[in-house]
Amino acid sequence: MADQSPATSYLRIMVFGAGTMGHGIALLAGKSGHMVFLVDVDSEALHRAVKLIRSHLDWFQEEKEISEPLEAVLSRIKPVQNFEDVIGSCDLIIEAITEDQILKSELFKQIAPLKSEPSIVVSNTSYLDVFALAPEKMLSRFAIAHFFVPPYLVPLVEVVGNDQTDTDVIPWLMEVLRRMGQQPIYLKRFIPGFIVNRLQRAMGREMFHLLEEGIASPEDIDAAVKASFAIRVPVVGIAQKLDLTGLDLVLKILKNPSIDLATEDRIPRILQERVDAGDYGVKTGKGLYDYGNRPMEEITRKLNRKFLAVRRFMEKGISGGSK
Ligand SMILES: NC(=O)c1ccc[n+]([C@@H]2O[C@H](COP(=O)([O-])OP(=O)(O)OC[C@H]3O[C@@H](n4cnc5c(N)ncnc54)[C@H](O)[C@@H]3O)[C@@H](O)[C@H]2O)c1
């Protein structure tokens, strides 16, 4: 087997899917000095991605988050539609295409014979057991690296291997991610949704329940969250928060009559209605909130400013361990 490029060197990275996540991962990797090939079956998506990357880079420069000229970073991020000629020279292949079993499975079948032997493939799937979708011969060099939107500002990456992942793959991947400024967390085995999406999904379910019951508006629910656990979560997370409450009280509350939380066996009516109306959120200018049909670029820039402010605060504002 040929050597894997060391995690400390600049790599050649191919990112499949130039949508919400793919363009952000490409930007993160390019900004970190790697050569990136961004692939999408939809040329319009690829075009949009390059425009967004340029706009984010422009903003990073304004914020003094990059010292290199914008064009130098951009020259390392190459949009490609015919990936077959380049994939064999890539060290890392990141799959961030549509969350669809058939599409992902077909792509893995295409990738397997073309990739070089030691190169590593990771999937950014949110829920799917992609290990069951990949050809057997790819499994030893295959893992999950689950990023969060926007990946160039949110540091967590959940990393999971499969039963056959070679022992060098996870440490190498974790080091590559750390060098991009990310905070990888290793999960001992695959579970759909990993840690964060499972928690977010439980909360989302109850949020739709509250909306459907007419208890509060989306804006008021968010205002409640921001004025309460948003302040505590960065300090105590959600496990240590129970120590703060007192486990005796936590137990008493759970023994009291059920509060009838939402269950998962139905699709929230409000969600279905919004999607049917084509209101997908930031990418269409309207979702649970109304953004006045402002372009995605403008909405994203405004949100990114706030994410960066929080990230900077957390990097320097909270220190001293968790106890
Ligand atoms: N959106 C999020 O917040 C988020 C967060 C973490 C993980 N994810 C996961 O990341 C993946 C991508 O999600 P997204 O939100 O970026 O989706 P998206 O719909 O914004 O983009 C997906 C892109 O993949 C392209 N595509 C489809 N088949 C392809 C193929 N065979 N080759 C190349 N490109 C192809 C589509 O044309 C589209 O541009 C999904 O698995 C999703 O679950 C999403």
pLDDT in tens, the chain (323 residues): 457 888 889 999 999 999 999 999 999 999 999 999 999 999 999 999 999 999 999 999 999 999 999 999 999 999 998 899 999 999 999 999 999 999 999 999 999 999 998 999 999 999 999 999 999 999 999 999 999 999 999 999 999 999 999 999 999 999 999 999 999 999 999 999 999 999 999 999 999 999 999 999 999 999 999 999 999 999 999 999 999 999 999 999 999 999 989 988 789 999 999 999 999 999 899 999 999 988 888 898 999 999 999 999 988 876 667 77
- Residue 69 shares a structural domain with residue 104: yes
Query: Does residue 193 form part of some domain?
Result: no
Query: pTM of the full predicted structure?
Result: 0.93
Torsion, CA 49, CA 53, CA 55, CA 56, rounded to 10: 130
**Cα–ligand 1 centroid distance for 95 (angstroms):** 8
> Ligand 1: which residue has its CA nearest to atom 21?
19
Verify whether ligand 1 is closer than 6 Å to residue 39 (CB atom).
yes
Q: Are 144 and 160 in contact (CB under 8 A)?
A: yes
What is the domain extent for residue 281? 198-317
Measure the CA–CA gap between 237 and 234, rounded to whole angstroms.
6
Using omega within 30 degrees of 0 as the cis cutoff, is the peptide bond preceding 184 cis? no
Verify whether ligand 1 is closer than 6 Å to residue 103 (CB atom).
yes
23 Cα nearest atom in ligand 1: 16
Residue 29 to residues 179, 273, 314: CA-CA distances in angstroms? 10, 37, 22
Measure the CA–CA gap between 295 and 301, rounded to whole angstroms.
10
User: Between β-strands 142-146 and 156-161, what pairing exists: parallel, antiparallel or unpaired?
Assistant: antiparallel
Number of domains in the chain: 2
- Residue 293 shares a structural domain with residue 269: yes
> Ligand 1: which residue has its CA nearest to atom 25?
17
Query: Does residue 152 form part of some domain?
Result: yes
